[in-house]
Amino acid sequence: MIDGFTIQPLTRRHERGRFSCGQVDLDRYLHELARKQDENDTTRVHVYASDTGEIAGYYTLSPLVFEVTGLPPALQRGRSHHVLVPATLLGRLAVDGRYRGRRLGSFLLSHAMRSAVQGSAIVASAVLVIDAKPEALDWYLRHGLEFERMPDMPLRLLLPMESIRAELNRSSAR
């Protein structure tokens, strides 16, 4: 993607204060809360950063649990004997304004999906959950993924891990 940049866990050496995606809440989160939440094991913050600590983008992953009856019918199938269904929440995804137009957001989404699938092999997770911001909903939907939707939460997108695995297999075959 960008020479000298890699996906890394957020650390003290990363320059969080310079990051600006144009969304006050996403900027403030990275500047003020991200490291503390990561250190407290509330969420994992993954940054796309240079060797010098400059952050071009980030995303967060954390655990989530649903009551099976709260899921769309398609995701309830085969889970009727379970009361709770484990999931992974993609809580935030943002790209610094200086790096827009390079498909970095799509790269971060793909990496987050891959990380969620890898994590589900160690700690069970049936679904990747995205609580999209209204202005980002169409962006997520344009990726051609087969999201399930929550009727009472129209901005919540659900993507079964089996669908992510299939998508990653298709992508690697290209």
CATH, residue 38: 3.40.630.30
Please tell me the total count of domains within the chain. 1
| pLDDT score of 123 more than 90 | yes
Rounded Cα distance between 62 and 149, Å, is 20
Edge-to-edge strand list for the sheet holding 44-50: 5-9, 44-50, 55-67, 84-95, 127-131, 153-160, 148-150
Give me the pLDDT at residue 15, please.
97
Give me the pLDDT at residue 20, please.
98
Rounded Cα distance between 2 and 31, Å, is 22
| pLDDT tens per residue across span 58-83 | 999 999 998 777 777 777 677 666 68
Give me the pLDDT at residue 39, please.
97
Cβ proximity of 83 and 95 under 8 Å: no
Give me the pLDDT at residue 141, please.
95
The residue segments making up the domain with residue 122 are: 5-173
Q: Which amino acid would we find at residue 136?
A: A
- The owner of tokens 């900027």 is 27
What is the model's pTM?
A: 0.92
Rounded Cα distance between 91 and 79, Å, is 24
| pLDDT score of 51 more than 70 | yes
Query: Among 85, 169, 87, which Cα is nearest to 130's?
Result: 87
CA-based diameter of the chain, in Å? 50
Rounded Cα distance between 54 and 14, Å, is 6
